[in-house]
Structure formats: structure tokens, C-alpha cells
Amino acid sequence: MILRLSSLALGLLSAASALSPADIPADLPVSQLIKDASVKLATGNTQDALVYFDAAIARDPQNYLTFFRRGAAYLSLGRAAQAQHDFDKVLELKPGFEGALVQRAKIRARKADWAAARKDYEAAGKTDDIAQLEEAQGAAILAQEAANKGDWESCVQQAGTAIVVAGAAFDIRKTRARCRFEKGEVIEGISDLQHLLQINTGSIEPHLQSSAMAFYSLGETEKGIKHVAQCLQSDPDSKACMKLRRREKNLEKDLKKVRSYFERRQFATASKLLIDRGADDPGLLKEVKQDFADYVAAGYIYPNVPQGLYATLVEQTCEAYVEMGNLKKGTPYCTEALSLNPDSLYGLIHKGQTQLESDAFDDAVRTLEHAKENHQQSQKVDELLNKAHTLLKRSKTKDYYKVLGLSRDADEREIKRAYRKFSKKFHPDKAGAQGMTPEDAQKKMAAINEAYEVLSNPELKERFDRGDDPNSNEQQGSPFQGSPFGGGGQQFMFRQGGGGGGGGGFKFQQGVFWNYEDGKMCCSFSFSCETFAREHCHQNILHSTSLIPVILMQRYRCHAFSPEFTVKRWHYIFHATRIPIRASLFQVAALSSYFSLLPAGVMMIQLRRDLPRPIHPLAGFPAVLHQCVNQIDHEISIDIRIQGLDTFSTRLQPECAVIGYEASSRRFGRGFSVDQPDCCNGWLNFCKFVYHGVDDAVLERLVEDTLAHGV
């Protein structure tokens, strides 16, 4: 209000200080009046100059030069009609006056009055101007023809050539405005509309088009409202302008709310204003899109102009869902955002994240690099691009999340659940029904166990998430690729003998157990013992930063042994500090596993299937012993398969060591012993296999010590 009052005051002062005819002395000579008018023109005071010219003409109406000078003054103010009237008077007083002919020709040419302008140029002998006039006239015709054909580029070029001469030609300006809009040049088209309003101040259509185009196409809502306000200044009773202004102001209120919610990061609330929530609440997206279509039909908006406001709202909706982490719901909006603007920031972020989730890492890197090029200040793009490079690097090796069918934000419970699910699904007992061979099942289970080993351990999982595969040869330098014993080639000591004394120490080369070759092993079991006694136990559990190999030698004597029995179920459980015995296993040799599979030092060995018929323990039979490691919560299950029993099948688990087994006759009683040379040879060969690189003399002492303790 203060500014308006100040402007009004200045206007009143200017009006008060303006020169009026009454201020000019009646006896002032005409020559002095013309001289004073020229001084005013030189100082830029054209209005005062016109007062002096009016006075001079009133006193000497036959002076054609005074009319010419006043016409030039009118022309400088853009008052072409009054200027032409004065030039007409000059030519009436002095026919053929070149200056008046040329100026009147230019005025006529500016209005595209080609014939009249040509006549004046010919009378003045201006051949160059005639050539320029003819070029402009031809360009105007070509522009209209191009517009009729839909050749918008040619239309704009030809109309521009014509407008250089015919700048005040309403139809040519209107044609170029149309072609610019159809070409998608909205700002330039609005500029032409503003010129139309200067040519014809009473025209309403350019106001409506300028407002709707600025508001809906450019998304410059305040400018759109300003344009329609100018319409009401020109015609306060225009119903079309009042209706458009009311609609735009109502939308602007809701748009301000959305911007406010985004500033406060209240994306869920903002999205409710944006999306369609039913007939009673269509949302801004639907409303703006419908308005655009309605105004195209009304002629306020050209069909081919960009939908700037709608595109902004789609981008905001995409941003809201990306920030809320709901990529699925954001997909239609983010996809549309990219179709409207290929450089859409959140459209590219959504696309990149979606590609990462679908393991399209190369595509994700390309998408996010595109985003980086166009949005260099975006921290979110930087973070995602770094993540994409990490995942791409990781994908060149292994993806443990993919193995377990997990997303990369899976928590501990989801990891454990996925492990159980896949362990059951790809267990060799069930894998056959899916058309998998035992070998394929073993490979699959090996991958599952390896994935779980990493993901179930926070330290290893963190390393893997950074792109550092804990099982990679590059990271560990292990000579045994895929071995759970990778990790610097350490060697672990296995000591044989009661209480840790005697028997000497033997180095166990890690990884050998997983790069096995056929050997012989003499293995004896006793099942379903009602009572038992621990005769000897020695265990040595070694820890390292990457694994815990568990090297055990257990021997037990079973009492109340029956020579014939049916195996229902036996299992053996031990802890690192305590060994509760539920049944008996006489020999567990060089049994090892990943450290992450023994978080509490717990291992379970369990035969899961009932044997189909009674088995006499003295019977010899060929078999293959599969020792397999499989995590179940905080336990390791090891299943044993005995070949030769047709209806008996195993539940093979991953990373199995398959060892040739050759049984010999044995003597069972209240105690347990092995006295057959073949079995001794078998045990020796097995030792050679396990203790790779240890000389035979050391192994023989190991066998002697083993047999001395009842095995």
C-alpha cells in the first residue's frame, strides 16, 4: 500500500510538473517554439516537445516541416497512427517529400500493408527498401503455408523474416506464436503473445493463452496468475479471465501446501495431496492433467507444449516414494517422470535403485552416471553410484544375497529363515524330485552354506557389503579356491593322546579336507546304547579371525551293547566346554567347519533316517561316508549315508568330504577295539589323507597311539 501511494504521489507530481499549452507565452515566435521543441527532444522530454510542436502548428498550420518533426516525435513514442496522420499532412502540403514518403512506407510495411508501402517506396525511389519489402511479403506467405502444413520450424523462420519488416502485423505475429508453441518454444511464444497485446490492447485471447501457458506449461504459477490479472485490468468484466484466475489461485494454494510438506520432509502427507484417492479426492496430479486437457480443448494451450506443472508434480510424487523407500508404489510415477524429462533426478534415482535390486549392476552404473552428469550436487546420486560400483565389483565374484534369495537390507532373522528354506529345498533327499543330480545338489548346498557363513556373521557381512568378499582368493591368498579354510595358509596343531600328553603333535594343513581324493577309512559306530561311559576325549578348538577349524578325536566305550539292533535315531552333541552324551560315536576325526557355523561351539551329528531293517554290527559292507556341514540355528548337522541299503537315502549337506570306506570284521563287546590289519591300513591311509604332507613314520605313531586307546 505504501508503494502504491508513493507511486501515485510521484505521478501527481509529474503531472503537476508537465508542460501544458497554457504555460507557453502567446507571443513566443514560431521559430522559438520549434527550437524549444528540438531542445526537449534532445533531452528526452518528448511529451513537452509535442506541446511546443502543437503550439507551433496552431500558429503556422502550413509549415510541413513542423508536421514532419511532430510525426517523428510521435513515431519515437510508438504512436504510429498519429505519426502517419502527420506524414499524410506533410505530403498534402508538399507532395513527393521523400522523408515523409519513406517514413509512411515503413509504418505501412510494419502493418503488412504491402501494396501501400510499395507505392510510397516507389515514389521515393527506394529500390533497396522495395526489395526488402518484397522479401518480407514473400516470407509472410511462406510462413502461413508452412503453418498449414505443420512445418513449424520453417514457419518460425519465415515468419521471423517477415516480422523484421512487419513487426506490427497482428496476423504474422499470431502465426509465429502458434508455430512456436507447436514447436514447444513456450517462452518465445508467450513473448509473441505479449506483442499481440501491444498491437491490439483490447484482445482477450492472448491474455488467456499467456496465463494458461505460463501456469500449466512452464509451471510458473505466479507468472500465470499475473498474466490473467492483466486481462482483468484490460477488461474487468471478462468472465473467461475471472474463471481462469479463480482456478489458478485455488490450485496455487494446494501447490504451496505440497511445497511446504516437502520442505519439512513430510513425504507421506505430501503424496496424499498429489495422488488420486478416489472420486472425492482426485489429487493434484489428476486435476492438473485434466485442466491441461480442458484448456487445450478451449484453445488456451497448444497440444504440443510441455506439461511443465504436471511434470513437476510427477517428479515430486516420484521423489516422495523414493524418500519413503517405497520403490514399488513409486514405479509408475518415476517411469512417467523419465518419459516427461529424461534427466529427471528422482526418476533416474528410482531407475538406478530398481536396477540394483534386480542385479542389473552395469545398467545401474550407467543410469546413475547419467544422473551424476545432470545433477552433480546430488549427494544421494553419489551414494548410490558408489554402491552400484561396489555391487558391480562384487557381482564379478559372488553374490551371497542372491544365493539365499535375499534383498540387501535383510536382517538376521530373514537370513536365517532363508538359509533353512533353501537347505530343505536343495537337500539331496528332495533335490532329486526337482530334477537335480546329487552332484548339482551338493554344489548348490555348498553355495548356500558359503553364503550363510558370510551373511550370518556381522563382521563378514559388513566386509561383503563394502565389496570385499571374505572368501575371495584375492582377499585371503588361499591356495584352495572355495575352501572354508582359506585365510593366510595357517596350519593348526592336532595333538593325539590322553589329556593332551603323548602322541606328539601333527600339523593339519587347512583346506585339504575340502580338496579330497579317495582314501580308506575304518569307521565304527554303536547305536542306541542305554548306558555309556566316557573313556577318553581330547579336543582342540583353534580360533582365527576368519574360521574355527574343529579338530576332534573322540573315543567312548559303550555298555549294554546288543549284537543286533535297529537304528531308530542317534545323535551326538558336544559343546566346547562341556560334552553331554546322549549316545555314542566312537570316532570323529578331523571334523572342521566355518567359524560362523559354530557361534557357541555347538555341533550336532545326527542320523536323520531310520534304517529299513536290523543291521548286525559285525557285518562288513561297502559304503561311502559323507560328512557334511549344515547350520541349523546354533548347531551343525552332519549326516551319514551308508550305501548298499536300497531304501535308505541321505540328507546330504554342502561342503561334503567324501571318503572311500572299506569295513573289515570287528570285535564288539562291552568295550570297543579294532584288530584287523586292513582296518589299520585303512586308518593309516585316512591319516595320510587328512594330515597331508606328514611323513609315514609320524602317521604310524599316530595309528599305534590310536589303537592303544581302543580304536
**Tens digits of residue pLDDT in 414-451:** 999 999 888 888 877 776 777 788 788 888 888 888 88
Q: Which residue has the higher pLDDT, 335 or 429?
A: 335
Is the pLDDT at 596 greater than 80, yes or no? no
Angle at 225 between CA 11 and CA 152, to 5 degrees: 110
Q: How is residue 130 written as a grid cell?
A: 522495395
253, pLDDT greater than 90: yes
Please choose, from the candidates 87, 85, 25, 80, the residue with its C-alpha nearest in 3D space to the C-alpha of residue 56.
Answer: 25
Q: What is the pLDDT of residue 474?
A: 52
Q: Report CA-CA distances (Å) from 258 to 71, 270, 346.
A: 56, 5, 17
H/E run at residue 322: helix 308-324
* Averaged pLDDT, 263-286: 90
Confidence of residue 391 (pLDDT cuts 50, 70, 90): confident
3-state helix, strand, coil split of the chain in percent (to 5) is 55, 10, 35
Superfamily of domain 398-471: DnaJ domain (1.10.287.110)
Choose the weakest-confidence range: 149-158, 360-369, 494-503. Answer: 494-503
- The answer to whether 639 touches 651, Cβ cutoff 8 Å, is yes
Give the pLDDT score at 500. Answer: 35
209's grid cell: 493463452
Give this prediction's pTM: 0.55
What mean pLDDT comes out for the span 269-283?
87
| Pairwise pLDDT comparison (88 vs 572), residue with the higher score | 88
What pLDDT was estimated at residue 144? 95
Q: What are phi and psi of 658, to 5 degrees?
A: -100, 120
Q: Residue range 548-554: average pLDDT?
A: 26
The whole-number average pLDDT for the span 659-666 is 29
Kind of pairing between the strands at 635-638 and 603-606: parallel
Q: Which one is predicted more confidently, 168 or 394? A: 168
Find where cell 486437457 sits: 293
In sequence order, the 6+-apart residues with CB closer than 8 A to the CB of 71 are: 82, 83, 84, 85, 86, 87, 90, 100, 103
pLDDT at 698: 53
Provide the 10 A C-beta neighbour count for residue 328: 9
Task: Give me the helices (H) in 575-695, please.
Answer: 677-690
Instruction: Report which of residues 315 and 398 the model is more confident about.
Output: 315
Q: Read off the C-alpha cell for 445.
A: 548346498
In this prediction, residues 534-540 reach a mean pLDDT of 29
Section 348-360 average pLDDT: 92
Kindly state the average pLDDT of the residues 640-663: 29
| Helix segments in 438-480, DSSP class H | 438-455, 458-465, 473-476
What are the two backbone dihedrals, phi and then psi, of residue 682, each rounded to the nearest 5 degrees? Answer: -60, -45
Q: Per residue in 101-140, pLDDT tens?
A: 999 999 999 999 999 999 999 999 999 999 999 999 999 9
Phi-psi category of residue 94: left, alpha or beta, with phi > 0 → left and psi -120 to 50 → alpha: beta
Please, which residues have CB within 8 angstroms of residue 139's CB and are 6 or more apart in sequence?
A: 158, 159, 161, 162
Rounded to an integer, the average pLDDT of 72-91 is 92
Cα separation, 322 vs 330, whole angstroms:
7
What does R_g of the chain's alpha carbons equal in angstroms? 48
The answer to whether residue 1 scores a pLDDT higher than 70 is no
229 vs 235: CA distance, rounded Å: 10
Q: What is the mean pLDDT of the chain?
A: 70
Q: Is 623 helix (H, G, I), strand (E, B) or coil?
A: strand
Contact predicate 159/179, CB 8 Å? yes
pLDDT given at position 693: 41
Judged against a pLDDT cut of 60, whether residue 658 lies above it is answered with no
* pLDDT value of residue 438: 79
The per-residue pLDDT for 260 is 95
For the segment 540-561, the average pLDDT, to the nearest whole number, is 26
pLDDT of residue 696: 53
Q: How much is the pLDDT for 465?
A: 82
Domain positions in the chain are: 398-471, 491-708
Cβ-proximal residues to 99 (8 Å cutoff; 6+ apart), any chain: 68, 90
- Is residue 655 over pLDDT 90? no
Cβ proximity of 598 and 457 under 8 Å: no
Query: Mean pLDDT over residues 75-101, rounded?
Result: 92
